[in-house]
Structure 1
Amino acid sequence: MSNPMVLLETSMGEILVELFEDKAPATVKNFLQYVDDEFYDGLIFHRVIDNFMVQGGGMDMMMKEKPTRAAIKNEASADVSNKKGTLAMARTMEVDSATAQFFINVRDNPHLDHRDETAQGFGYCVFGQVVEGIEIVDKMKKVRTKNFGFHADVPVDPITIISARRFETD
């Protein structure tokens, strides 16, 4: 059985991602539920930091947070690294606080990897990788950003997630 795939259609182009169902089953199930509910449609990549990551899946064009389901358990593990092109769950300082927001690493970010069971060392759960469209992510990381209220690194011109759908391969 092959891993599930999701096509992110963004205002900058399409990004095809493969999800690591074997490495982070609960996280993939959670993400696919948001995809199936069409939750991500119309949301934006609201935090873009060149040489770090692009984050989306939680805010609308007005930077208003969309209500989510309950937070999930963090499945970060030492055998899956935050390498360039991987998707990971965004969270607060609380280890098990991820809901719908995710980020795409635009470079290797080993400091985000799982090191131990402490709050500082738990890391961010990698649950997928870009298989097509990394050039779109590379374009995203270069956009101009601004501060918007309490938020920093917000793209001046919004990067919209037009749709996120399961992608069936034959």
Structure 2
Amino acid sequence: MAKIKPQTLLLQSKKKKGPSRVSISTIIVYCLLVGVIAVLLFTSYRHWSKRSTGQTGANFSNFEDADATQDSKKYDLPGYAIMNTPKGYITVELFKDTAPEIVDKFLDFCQKGHFKGMPFHHVIKHYVIQGGDAEGLGAAEDWISKEKLRTKLITSPKHEAFTLGTTKSKQGGKKFGFFITTAPIPDLNDRLIVFGRVVKGQDVVQEIEEVDTDERYQPKSSIGIIDVTLKKEI
């Protein structure tokens, strides 16, 4: 049996112990796999992070949108009514915050042309002028008949002059009447719902209250509302 030389044995052991070579194609495949996995993980992370923040933002936006909708409904409504009369224009600011239901009803009647051509039914000097539907509002002549009224006209700070109000008694769905005060009237605090005030045309209101009336405080010559124009701002 032939003997193997020591040098040959050393070379054979080095070949067995040495690491096996990896081909370049294998390295490229591994790199591609690692890159694909990294891209998938990053994409998944971004998707779930956006979804979670989107849901949180949606919750807040739902509340904000609800509040904004309510505010927009309120502030999109006209804030002023301009009554055209034979004596001139009366501009009224509407109290959308303090009397929203009455203002909505008044605006609805204005938009339907309800007050167009409607007369002032009662004109009571140093008291009120009454417009709109007369039915159910004839109480004005009863209010003026009270003796205590004249003493309170000067002292009461409650009910200001040139305010726009409607009676608290229930009116039919197809009727609406209003009063414009021409003096501070405390007696009307419990009888009227104030839903506006005259901001321009106080002199026109005073001219109307100077017209001649009969014993029932009804104008002898017809005077009324030619039309009503609604505006958001003036």
* TM-score category (smaller protein): 0.7 to 0.9
Contact 1:82–1:88 under 8 Å retained in 2: no
Contact 1:82–1:126 under 8 Å retained in 2: no
Q: Compute the TM-score of the two structures, normalised by the length of structure 2.
A: 0.54
Indicate the residue corresponding to 1:110 in structure 2. Answer: 186
Larger RCO: 1 or 2 (CA < 8 Å, sep 6+): 1
Unmatched 5+ stretches in structure 2:
1-74, 136-157
When Rg is computed on C-alpha atoms for both structures, the one with the higher figure is 2
Shift of 1:26: 0.4
Shift of 1:83: 1.3
Comparing both structures, which one devotes a greater share of its residues to helix? 2
| Aligned residue runs from structure 1 range 130-169, under 5 A | 130-146=198-214, 152-169=216-233
Indicate the residue corresponding to 1:18 in structure 2. Answer: 93
Comparing both structures, which one devotes a greater share of its residues to strand? 1
Q: State the alpha-carbon separation in 2 of the partners of residues 44 and 132 from structure 1.
A: 20
Q: Secondary structure at the match of 2:165?
A: strand
Structure 2 letter corresponding to 1:157: S
Q: Secondary structure at the match of 1:138?
A: helix
Unmatched 5+ stretches in structure 1:
60-64, 66-80, 115-122
Q: Secondary structure at the match of 1:125?
A: strand
Give structure 1 regions of 4+ aligned residues with deviation exceeding 3 angstroms.
none
Cα RMSD (Å) = 2.0
Indicate the residue corresponding to 1:124 in structure 2. Answer: 192
Residues 62-99 of structure 1: per-residue CA shift (max 9 Å, x gap): xxx6xxxxxxxxxxxxxxx53100001036xxx33374
| Aligned residue runs from structure 1 range 26-105, under 5 A | 26-58=101-133, 81-90=158-167, 95-97=169-171, 99-105=175-181
Aligned residues, how many? Answer: 135
Q: State the alpha-carbon separation in 2 of the partners of residues 97 and 36 from structure 1.
A: 19
